[in-house]
Structure 1
């Protein structure tokens, strides 16, 4: 009996414990929920989020907590989080009308009209007169451009409730799109008369008048709304925006400052004023407004992110990083801040870091056009052209109006000599923005490359008409005229470009070439002397001009004068490569190579720490095919100056023929490319090393860029043809290989070029 009583007592104790535990969990759940409600009402949404989450952890089927958590995420600007929570509400409580309508709204905003319609129709099947569901249905019809049905739904809403101002405004928008402007105005007036002090209807009427360019009427409506709601700072912001749109900056500034005066403890007026000052180019006042906003809300991540963007735009990366660090400490997964971190990595040329960031962002948000675009930019930085194109194409697919991405695609197409694609991309940019100067330039270049000369001429003349002070249009027109042997026209265009900027050596070089084509060598020499005065003390420009003079002297068979001119060019700019080759050719052709070798060795004996003489000796030995000696002098030059680009370039090309030294060759080629990014010889060297490594796409890019500057160079034509052949683009390869053989039959690779052609 005693044993039986003990068992009964034990069971009772367990029951009491279980019941007490359940009661405790229920109390904790309600406590967390009520704390969350208090935080929510006080605008402390992060704390509210934590409390609602705690309640759900105790009771995973707590519908009210999911619903309030969804509202909390909306307040935090996290629509994905809100969507997730409302989905749980709908799953746990299929009869919950509010959750169904929230999900329908999310679907509609995401252009998923079928999913949205399914939710709305389910609500209307239960409640045919549900006003919110009817508004959503009207919005869906509007999205589908079914204006008649949308208008019918708005009319039904007004039949149910004639005080629904949103329905009047919806009808007004429908009528305006149908061109029924008087009817639209009448509907807006009806909305305004329902409640003259209501802000939204009157502002909608103001927008309607602005669209009709009835600016006085629009301003009157905004000011009337201010009169009826004098303490509303947002209305002063709207008035400021109106004045800004009307190009009345003083009135706009006064309105923004009045908004701050009315609501000094709100951040929005400060942020809007900052945007105004930023657009006006007033950096100090912009920063001042941001700092005042941050004083009001010191931990606001949106202010700090905006400030980071402000500094990022001005390339003040340390300041941008400082604010982003604070943001990410508070919100480690905050998407905009991580995007900016990626942008900073791109700016710092830390492309692997940038790609890692954008890959993660794309994984989280696959439809982020900007993330795909910046990933493409990062791959371009790594010279990974094909991967870059894939990312850029995706960014345009997601945002067809992303001009920067289309511009890069057009640029890549030009570099790949895919002129039809370049023409298509640049034409699409111009369709979006007919005044885009760079796009029209690329269009002209693509047309010229395809032999569509009349169309190219129109493009270049349009550039000149749009920006007569920009020399680029004259230069491109001059190149077209020169290619057509319209030498007088070309000279006029080149001179027009130089009148606007005498420091443009590409333009001056082409002008000298036109003089040469006309046989006017003395005039060309006088032009060089005049140009030397115009460029002043710029040794870089003097080097180019003295190199041109050397070429002109050679054409006149004045070898001694040419030698002096080339020597001056090297003295002016030791990094400038052409005069080294010119001098070496003079020595070789005049059988003076040994004398030159002795001369430069004597110079080095007196002063061994000179890279220039080593470079000249290396070039002479290169031309004599004494490669062990040329390598010795190139390496000696680089020991003296590790960044000496001419020696780095030539050594890279020399080493590229050795399979076991190809990586060393690539390192030297990259040194040369960094120092001389626009030198066609450097491009060709880097391209050839890529070719040797089997990176045929990258190689073709470099050869294309080189050929732009050296179109009549047999070696570069052969190299591009070989790269295209290896890529499988044999039709395109054929034209370059044939041109190479037509230009010269002695370049290195002649037999290989013939073999490739025979295989076609």
Structure 2
């Protein structure tokens, strides 16, 4: 129950022996003291009971100290007994000495005789209510005892500890340490107001104190307000921050899901403490989350050089190797980690991701099945962490089934997610809707969206999902009305206006969509909110054939986040489709694929830009990968058809364009541009004519 700082404070509050005796070993010092006493100690006067004999008191005090040191160093209980007896003799000679009274109480504490220590300290406080040393001893005894108690006993001990430190704060108003300990005790007692008051008082005494800053930040973090914790930590000038401050700042950025900032803070911490492996691990994770794969690998290399058996770092290294397309190395790294932790769930999950990347769907599914089975509770009761893990396993399995066009199996996995409850239920419903839409089962998608809307009548996002589905199914007025019903007249309306803009872009109501984006822009505060609006505005201009304006918006969004794969892909594809700035388009799309190598749309874009650049082999290779990930997208089939035509394989081209026309026919009107459909039909008709002519030419003449 005690907190780290409380434990360190206890060590600092321990009794410090007289410095002059530390120069010799206990045996030698004992001899010297005894000799000095024999030669110099005066005889006790007749009125010794009334008058303190300070020479005799000092003599016994010195012996007590030496016996205490010998008891601690040699572990001899007889020396401990001698130390106590010598303290008592010293007190007999000088019974009113605060130093001796406090020293005896502290000796009891150091020897583990807690009951006697408390009794002695309490007696001392009874005689002298302002005895700081006695209150400190009682305080540290009560604090140390907190960790050994539970329930009512712990609550009572906490109350006693708080009482002692409240007295200490009054007796030592300028003592930073006492205020920090009291603040932490209030925190344990869940009284954040009083805790903050003590920390702020300590801050007023020493604003840049490491312990003050760290305790303030910890309090806000435990209150669930990590942003205030960040504000406290960055309030200290960067040049004055310690390694621990930077580490705490990095960990808080981790909580806020700001990996770039976290990585920078970990780096600053490591600059001061290069051997701190915890900081190195934190930086590696942050860099990995931020997509800085090469830099993350450097950190992992340092960690594994220091600790080759660090399984977590091996898993992260394998993830980097997988994401960079080094699949053999990734497998080898995981196999090495398996020898150390064969039952590690995260390792098994990453292995499934690797098999998915390799296109070995059966192995990926088999691995996920084992994880799902191992995490299943027959009674259906799960902790929040268990729910989170099951969600990851089931969601990934559903995604793989969707890649295999096994919609029935994917739906079954999403239904298990729905059964988890809460927000997981909403995610499961969304997965079902997306799966049905991908497989052109639009009535089923609408039915699930309606079920979700009924189950979560007050959830704005669920209602907007249903509104989108209604609009796509041709019930435009009903869908728009449901979406607008989510408006509340507050800043929370931004998401509603954004969804209305999306719906209107799909309906090709571009002017109205722009108006919705204008309204949303007025309430956008965070950079990610502004970036998303810029992205949508770029999409609006693209769909309305205003390509220069679209490019300007996408470049603005990309300047805000150069590593956003969706922006990179959209802009790169748009440039490739217009046959402009192809080298730049290629680099954008390649970066998007590196960030999300399993995304079929990005693979299609990569194939398309290669085709535009005349690299047909690479174009065909990537388009095949895209179709392996999703075979229901008409655009991908069109692109592959054009590659086949260009390379003289007209029958294969016809087959792909026929498949594209089938997909267009089964798609929602909003998902297909009439111009694209007409273009594919024209290509198909032309190819059929060419094939017919070729067949006629081959027929023997009569």
Q: Give TM-score scaled by structure 1 length.
A: 0.50
Residues 521 and 457 from structure 1, CA distance in 2 versus in 1: closer, same or farther, beyond 3 angstroms? Answer: farther
C-alpha displacement of 1:565: 1.6
3-state SS of 1:535 partner: coil
Residue 736 (1) aligns with residue 601 (2): no
For 1:238, the equivalent position in structure 2 comes to 110
For 2:235, the equivalent position in structure 1 comes to 357
For 1:306, the equivalent position in structure 2 comes to 181
Cα separation, 2, equivalents of 1:390 and 1:292 = 41
Of the candidates 552, 557, 562, which is equivalent to residue 692 of structure 1?
A: 557
C-alpha displacement of 1:563: 2.3
For 1:507, the equivalent position in structure 2 comes to 393
Cα separation, 2, equivalents of 1:630 and 1:749 = 31
**Alpha carbons 1:401, 1:432 under 8 Å: kept:** no
**Alpha carbons 1:718, 1:740 under 8 Å: kept:** no
For 1:568, the equivalent position in structure 2 comes to 451
Of the candidates 285, 292, 302, which is equivalent to residue 157 of structure 2?
A: 285
C-alpha displacement of 1:509: 1.0
Unaligned runs of 5+ in 2: 1-11, 13-18, 35-61, 89-100, 126-130, 542-552, 575-582, 616-702
**Alpha carbons 1:460, 1:476 under 8 Å: kept:** no
Of the candidates 372, 375, 397, which is equivalent to residue 497 of structure 1?
A: 375
CA displacement, residues 285-316 of structure 1 (integer Å, 9 cap, x when unaligned): 23521322432561422311222244457875
Aligned pairs (5 A) from 1:291-330: 291-295=163-167, 298-300=170-172, 301=175, 302-311=177-186, 316-327=191-202
CA displacement, residues 390-436 of structure 1 (integer Å, 9 cap, x when unaligned): 54323223334656533431222112333454355457668889998
**Alpha carbons 1:718, 1:749 under 8 Å: kept:** no
CA displacement, residues 567-598 of structure 1 (integer Å, 9 cap, x when unaligned): 4345556868799689858976xxx5xx2323
Aligned pairs (5 A) from 1:366-381: 368-374=242-248
Residue 411 (1) aligns with residue 288 (2): no
Residues 602 and 229 from structure 1, CA distance in 2 versus in 1: closer, same or farther, beyond 3 angstroms? Answer: closer
For 1:453, the equivalent position in structure 2 comes to 331
3-state SS of 1:298 partner: helix
Highest relative contact order (Cα 8 Å, sep 6+), 1 or 2?
A: 2
**Alpha carbons 1:321, 1:341 under 8 Å: kept:** yes
CA RMSD of aligned residues (A): 5.8
Cα separation, 2, equivalents of 1:408 and 1:233 = 44
Cα separation, 1, equivalents of 2:306 and 2:117 = 32
**Alpha carbons 1:516, 1:524 under 8 Å: kept:** yes
Cα separation, 2, equivalents of 1:482 and 1:527 = 17
**Alpha carbons 1:222, 1:239 under 8 Å: kept:** yes
Unaligned runs of 5+ in 1: 1-76, 78-134, 136-163, 170-187, 210-216, 241-250, 660-687, 708-712, 720-724
Residue 397 (1) aligns with residue 271 (2): yes
Cα separation, 2, equivalents of 1:294 and 1:326 = 13
Residues 734 and 356 from structure 1, CA distance in 2 versus in 1: closer, same or farther, beyond 3 angstroms? Answer: closer
**Alpha carbons 1:202, 1:225 under 8 Å: kept:** yes
3-state SS of 1:694 partner: helix
**Alpha carbons 1:305, 1:327 under 8 Å: kept:** yes
Residue 260 (1) aligns with residue 126 (2): no
Aligned pairs (5 A) from 1:474-493: 475-483=349-357, 485=360, 486=363, 487-493=365-371
For 1:91, the equivalent position in structure 2 comes to none
Cα separation, 1, equivalents of 2:231 and 2:147 = 32
Residues 236 and 294 from structure 1, CA distance in 2 versus in 1: closer, same or farther, beyond 3 angstroms? Answer: same
3-state SS of 1:349 partner: helix
For 2:139, the equivalent position in structure 1 comes to 271
C-alpha displacement of 1:564: 1.4
C-alpha displacement of 1:748: 12
Cα separation, 1, equivalents of 2:424 and 2:31 = 73
3-state SS of 1:271 partner: helix
**Alpha carbons 1:339, 1:371 under 8 Å: kept:** yes
Cα separation, 2, equivalents of 1:690 and 1:193 = 84
**Alpha carbons 1:354, 1:378 under 8 Å: kept:** no
Cα separation, 1, equivalents of 2:479 and 2:470 = 15
For 1:129, the equivalent position in structure 2 comes to none
For 1:93, the equivalent position in structure 2 comes to none
C-alpha displacement of 1:272: 1.8
Residues 353 and 531 from structure 1, CA distance in 2 versus in 1: closer, same or farther, beyond 3 angstroms? Answer: closer
Cα separation, 1, equivalents of 2:306 and 2:440 = 55
**Alpha carbons 1:718, 1:753 under 8 Å: kept:** no
With 746-755 and 333-342 compared, the bigger mean Cα shift is at 746-755
Cα separation, 1, equivalents of 2:33 and 2:402 = 82
C-alpha displacement of 1:627: 3.4
Cα separation, 2, equivalents of 1:330 and 1:605 = 54
CA displacement, residues 722-754 of structure 1 (integer Å, 9 cap, x when unaligned): xxx99xx99994963996998448769987999
**Alpha carbons 1:339, 1:357 under 8 Å: kept:** no
Cα separation, 2, equivalents of 1:325 and 1:521 = 58
C-alpha displacement of 1:477: 4.9
Residues 225 and 320 from structure 1, CA distance in 2 versus in 1: closer, same or farther, beyond 3 angstroms? Answer: same
Residues 689 and 355 from structure 1, CA distance in 2 versus in 1: closer, same or farther, beyond 3 angstroms? Answer: farther
